[in-house]
Chain A
Amino acid sequence: MDTQSVTTESEENPLLEGLGLRRMPEPCILAIFGATGDLTRRKIFPALYALAVRKLLPEHFAILGISRTDQSSQEFVAHMEEAVREFGRDEFSPSVWDELASRTRYVGTDYTDESEKDKLTTCLTEMDEEFETRGNRVYYLAVPPAAMPILVEGLGPRRTTTGWVRLIVEKPFGRDLASARELNQLLQQHFTEDEIFRIDHYLGKETVQNMLALRFANGIFEPIWNRQFIDHVQITVAESIGIGSRAGYYEHAGAIRDIFQNHLLQLVALTAMEPPTDFTAESVRNEKVKVLKALVTPGPKSVVRGQYGPGFIEGEPVPGYRQEQDVAPDSNTETYVAAKLYVDNWRWADTPFYVRTGKRLPRRETTIAIQFKRAPHPPFEDLTELRPNVLFAHIQPNEGVALGIGAKVPGEGMRVRTVHMEFLYGGAFRVELPEAYERLILDTMLGDPTLFTRADEIEEQWAIVDAIVAFWAREKPMFPNYAAGTWGPPGAMELVEWHR
């Protein structure tokens, strides 16, 4: 067929508009440090496979797995295939996998001496040529905190001159304010803030983002989203599982560093933040930081810690924390934290935010419950069955929103009781929710940091944790203080009567 070559004054392509084409990431190499770790196996590779199934990866794309383990690329690919088959959310497609596998390489190195660093640089340069990735790099640091500095100091001076570089940094981001600052400074010596993507995978969850839709897309909530109408807020991140094989990490982190410092405080920020002027990364993160800055440091009476003892989960006996594999028999690591927080600003003054997280609680649940003040003067005699209105945002499981309202019980008289109006996320949107890591890896490749944590957010979070850990250090806890399968230590119940 003959063609005509169109000459236009503008370089823009008029045929592109309205095609609804998704923005595709530019060509790049994703280099994963810690490629033989659990995170790569359970989350990163299944997420990459899901992106490949949906044709969301760039045409010119490659993956380089990097770890100390000595193995060939073929062996690495075989391990990752097993991981995708086990943890992927899509049916396994050999053709999709073969395409992804053909773009995957592995290099074994401990990255400690200069020759190893140069070897890796050479490998990446060769892959650039082979896959036409133009020198663009995403470095995924899925490694323990101790390994970060050596990687950052090695990668910084070896950045390519031709393409862009982005760095995904996994949690834990430091273990206190000083180490977080040190890590931020180190990162910022070699990379600009818009090149650093600190992952808190909670922000990649659809239902966490739905909190923003719930608040800012619905005119009915925002006018009453303040101290005048809200009695208090409860945020729960409960897990029924124990620590599994993570004792090495968990013994040093505990619940306060594992969940409270990041996920819980992010949920507080999303619940309490002011409406951003737009949905750009800076606007959203500016508003979250304002909340974190306004958080009053809680005193010892406002924080309860706990550690589970033996108990029952779903009828099965489970050991206590101190009996878990590789845990010290006299460990004082907390597996539960509850706190009463105040956001000291105009909107939230004197409105408590009760937050709690724990392991071996009766069920897995992440919920934000907004409890409204009672009607000032209900003109009915029998109000014994009427509870205050509560808006529940269920992050997981049973993703959705429910509102508890008072309704008349049919029959004589005027008995009022609480009923639930329920919106089930999966009922309205009949598509499987993407995994958080899919969204976050794609956003990194696109250079969109909206759902990542900024340096100042991290530091504000650690400042609160440091204050709590400081007064904990002065007193030896009486652990264990709650049985597995219960809702935590009795002291937590005294903070607030938790709604179950």
Chain B
Amino acid sequence: MALLRRGIHRLGYARIAVKDLRLLKTRDFYANEMGLLETGIEPNRVMFRCWHEPYKFSFVVDQNENQGLVEIGLHVRDDLDLENFQQKLEAAGVKVQVAAADTELKGLGKSIAFDVPAGPRIRLFADIQQLGYVSGFEGPDWVAPKAIRGTAAPLNINHVAITSPDPERCSAFLADMLGFLTSEKIVDEKGKTISALLFRMAKNVGGQEIAIYPGAEVKLHHIAFTKEDSSDIMSDGYFLRSDGIELDLLGPLRQPYGNTFSVHFFDYCGVRLELCAVGRMTEVHPEIQPVVWSKSNLREALSYYDEALVPEEFFMPCL
């Protein structure tokens, strides 16, 4: 092989923790409202995947007193990638935890984990159990399974958004250490980054795998899942409302920052979720140019429709 894609290939999963005995409610919400497929249950953990994903899980909920985002899982090509990242991180003084296969999460291969300065905990892995497509590999009817029609039933996990006390430092680390590129960013009057959308994938929806928003602490802001298009977002909105789920942020949202069309809402434990469609095509290339937004145009960047949207409220984390 002469040319070879290296490094992070895809967003693997988001892993969160909720406290108390909320897992039962969580299972109910994600099965019956979100339309995710449950793929693993342990005494203190439940795992889900989206119907179009071939891997075991893309969303993991732990039961833990330390409520919040546990980690973001990123899929690399092979063990050589893991070794290269470990070396690079340790050379930069970053403490790396190495976990053998199936020890951290059942179905996950060998992994390495570390804390991003002013950012989330990241776990890199090359192998994850493959369940295959729900409709199989032989001439599949590649449409959502009947059992989850009428729910949100997203196709894939799309991105994870966090708040950070230092978005510039966090995004610089993700760029320098993990090769993330910036598709969009918001800068203040001095040119300092106060928010950034970062990517390693080139997909038709979303243009980001990690979104960083300003905030006092590193916290989860939301987890976004992919829908086919804007019409889906509208119908998902009324399916959710018909079941009494409140929609956040003045309903369906066209967001110039990322150029997505989306709807935001909360699960029964207060986790903010997004269903998103549309977005700008990205390219994993050093010369890609980001869209740059001025802090003075924050409201316009965050919503094309909702003039009443308050950016400070938008940036409030959830867990």
Q: Do A and B truly interact?
A: no
Binding site for B on A (CB under 8 A): none
Binding site for A on B (CB under 8 A): none
